[in-house]
Structure 1
Amino acid sequence: MLATTLVAGSFLASANLAGLINPFSLTLLRFTGAVSLLLPFILVTKKWRNKVLRTLPRSMVISLFYSVFFIFQFEALKITTALNTGTLYTLVPFITAVLCVLVFKDKIKVKQLMIYLLGALGTCWVIFGGDLSRLVDFSLNSGDLLFIAGCFSMCCYSISMKRLYRGDELIVMVFSTLLGGCIWMGVALWLSGLPLEWHLIQGESVFYMAYLVVGATLMTVYLYQKTTVALGPTRVMAYIYMNPAVVALLSLLVNGQSINLQVIPGILLSASATLLLQRQANVSKT
């Protein structure tokens, strides 16, 4: 839940940086900043330093899925809207569960399918502001299809964290994954031909960038890695249903933006779905 809150905060921070520099450069700076913070600890600790090269090949695969999601998201937003991508992102928990059936031989019961539907309904309710007409008008375009491909990549990111885990030191795995992210986003930026423009981040923007580096990148990757290995991809991705609700709550606390009463039922549905999925997972273990 902490990781979900940190990710939700990244939407507010990113909104304040939007238009300042291109998204590829922004994401590369997030990864580079996080790597720079971890690098001294890796260098001074011999056992961690010696394990980086051995961990890096697997981390490159993990970070590839993570980076591809961002790349597809940026490309999709050139064609589609944030509303559409926010709605389609609710597919991630269900897709993750389906892929876990194929990879880990997990089972999905009818009750679980209904809970996933409940969660998707709740998040869509929040995203569309409780306005049924906006939901009816929703339609897919080529950008949406591109983003759906990105959602599959995000699911693979979660699954690969557990599938490729070999009892590694957590800090080494996180460092290697972030380093891989730097490499992949660097390649994407180079291919796009866009400039870095990091010098444009000044004044208040430095604070928002610091949050993205520490909270939304370093801490989030650490928490996702730790919880995915312990709980499994399905349970971790289920918290995505809470994302729109947490964004709304943070907007209230940070920006004083009131929460529309029409979205309250959606928030309650999302929270219920998340809790039910966690409870269902606990029952399955016993």
Structure 2
Amino acid sequence: MNDLLKSHLMVLLATFFIAGSFLASARLAGVINPFSLTLMRFVASFVLLLPLVLSRRDWRRKIVTVLPRATVISFFYAMFFACLFEALKTTTSLNTGTLYTLVPFMTALLCLVFLRQPIGGQTFLIYILGAASACWVIFEGQLDRLLAFSLNQGDWLFLGGSLLICGYSLSMKLLYRRSDPMPVLVFCILFTGALWMGTALLVLGYPLDWHNIHGEHLAAMSYLVVASTLMTVYLYQRSTVVLGPRRVMAYIYLNPAAIAVLLWWFEGVKIPTIVLPGIVACSLATVLLQREPRS
């Protein structure tokens, strides 16, 4: 198997891990407050990553220099997950997963405004295709709902969370250094993200309530920690070296299709026929973006 095909398979697997995280998060939403859920996820993740980071002397030395920049990056990252958990109380995993496909388009617009990075005409049209397809899925192909723009409360909250993940991408562009080892950067983001969530809990006076996480809830949290956090970091890192960041990000448009497949496979949920064209069009956006040159 050549490196190109292997990298595509790795990022496809990571895409399904991310899609599964929306389903797992939906099971956890409402069990305890979103700040405590996010804190638990980050603490478990950085504890598992700690032995790896400490195993190398050069990585240990990098923690001090990476930590201040990671503190800024992690604010957007942590708040995104808090918004996700809160949003899933009043919306569906398919809706959040579809809204998530708007992130590349919103990120490109913010890069244009703040970093003066132009968007190619072909790329812009593909982003429009992805955004329009996402709207088709969200509004279930109903023009009256689109014209009324009747997003529910959870959709609006996650839309705000999507802006936060755009802020995460921008801060990564501005603060990431090529000399930063990826495991160290991820560890520092998880560690400082936990600090942000701990601070939020103290300020708001929310209890931890971690004792409520047991049984299937514990299994869902374990999935978020191992599969959608640690394993996806590894898969994205390896595949980005070969494919480039733009091609890897293009797989985000497969989210609605991946979530639909997982809902059908694990929960027996049938996706309304009317939203299938939108899911297919989102997937087409991924294919079209693969034709762009590596960057």
Q: TM-score range by the shorter chain?
A: 0.7 to 0.9
User: Residue 197 of structure 1: CA displacement?
Assistant: 0.8
Q: Specify which of 101, 114, 132 is matched with residue 121 of structure 1.
A: 132
Q: Specify which of 228, 232, 252 is matched with residue 216 of structure 1.
A: 228
Give the aligned partner of residue 192 of structure 1. 204
Structure 1 residues 54 and 67: CA distance shift in structure 2, 3 A: same
User: Residue 47 of structure 1: CA displacement?
Assistant: 2.2
Q: Specify which of 259, 282, 285 is matched with residue 270 of structure 1.
A: 282
Asked if 1:60 is matched to 2:71, the reply is: yes
CA distance in 2, matches of 1:236, 1:135: 30
State the AA in 2 paired with 1:219: M
Q: Contact 1:93 / 1:116 at 8 angstroms: preserved in 2?
A: yes
Q: Contact 2:77 / 2:168 at 8 angstroms: preserved in 1?
A: yes
- Identity across matched positions, percent: 57
Alignment of 1:23-62 (within 5 A): 23-62=34-73
Q: Contact 2:36 / 2:201 at 8 angstroms: preserved in 1?
A: yes
CA distance in 2, matches of 1:163, 1:219: 25
Q: Specify which of 236, 245, 251 is matched with residue 239 of structure 1.
A: 251
Cα displacement string for residues 144-190 of structure 1 (whole angstroms, at most 9, x for unaligned residues): 77655433321121233243222211111111111111111111222
Two-structure CA RMSD over aligned residues (Å): 3.0
SS in 2 for 1:279: coil
Structure 1 residues 164 and 84: CA distance shift in structure 2, 3 A: same
Give the aligned partner of residue 259 of structure 1. 271
State the AA in 1 paired with 2:216: E
Structure 1 residues 102 and 278: CA distance shift in structure 2, 3 A: farther
Runs of at least 5 residues in structure 2 that lack an aligned partner in the other structure: 1-11
CA distance in 1, matches of 2:104, 2:210: 34
CA distance in 1, matches of 2:72, 2:258: 30
Structure 1 residues 13 and 218: CA distance shift in structure 2, 3 A: same
User: Residue 142 of structure 1: CA displacement?
Assistant: 8.8
Structure 1 residues 208 and 140: CA distance shift in structure 2, 3 A: closer
CA distance in 2, matches of 1:258, 1:147: 23
User: Residue 223 of structure 1: CA displacement?
Assistant: 4.7
Number of corresponding residues: 282
Q: Contact 2:80 / 2:164 at 8 angstroms: preserved in 1?
A: yes
State the AA in 1 paired with 2:260: A
TM-score, length-scaled by structure 1? 0.84
User: Residue 51 of structure 1: CA displacement?
Assistant: 1.6
SS in 2 for 1:51: helix
State the AA in 1 paired with 2:64: L
CA distance in 2, matches of 1:149, 1:258: 28
User: Residue 206 of structure 1: CA displacement?
Assistant: 1.6
